[in-house]
Amino acid sequence: MSSYLKNVWAGFYTAVKGMMITSRHMFKKSVTIQYPDEKFDLPANARNKLVLDMSRCNACTACAIACPVNCITVEGVRVSPEDPHQEVHADGKPRKVWVTRYEMDLAKCCFCGLCQAACPSDAIKHTQDFEYSAYNKESLYFKYQILTPEQSAEKVRLLAEFKEKEAAAKAAAAEKAATEGKPVAPKKAAPKADEASEQ
Ligand code: SF4
Ligand code: SF4
Mutate to test the pocket of ligand 2, among 55, 89, 124, 197 (most ligand atoms within 8 A of CB): 124
Is ligand 1 within 6 A of the CB of residue 110? yes
**What rounded mean pLDDT belongs to the chain?**
88
Q: What is the mean pLDDT of residues 72-79?
A: 94
Q: From residue 184, give the alpha-carbon distance in Å to each of 163, 164, 189, 190.
A: 20, 20, 15, 17
Q: What gap in Å lies between CA 189 and CA 199, rounded to an integer?
A: 25
Point out the ligand 2 atom lying closest to the alpha carbon of residue 118. Answer: 1
143 three-state secondary structure: strand
Q: Order across the sheet with 72-78: list the strands.
A: 72-78, 97-105, 141-144
| pLDDT given at position 185 | 58
Point out the ligand 2 atom lying closest to the alpha carbon of residue 61. Answer: 5
- Give the residue, by CA position, lying nearest to ligand 2 atom 6: 63
97-148 tens-digit pLDDT: 999 999 999 999 999 999 999 999 999 999 999 999 999 999 999 999 888 8
169 three-state secondary structure: helix
Q: What gap in Å lies between CA 174 and CA 166, rounded to an integer?
A: 12
- Give the residue, by CA position, lying nearest to ligand 1 atom 5: 109
Structural domains present in the chain: 50-151 (3.30.70.3270)
| pLDDT given at position 187 | 55
- Sorting pLDDT into bands at 50, 70 and 90, what band is 15? very high
Backbone angles phi, psi at 103, to 5 degrees: -130, 145
Report how far ligand 1's centroid is from the alpha carbon of 102 (Å). 14
Q: What gap in Å lies between CA 141 and CA 104, rounded to an integer?
A: 6
143-172 tens-digit pLDDT: 998 888 899 999 999 999 999 999 999 999
Point out the ligand 1 atom lying closest to the alpha carbon of residue 124. Answer: 6
Is ligand 1 within 6 A of the CB of residue 67? yes
Above pLDDT 90, what percent of the chain?
63
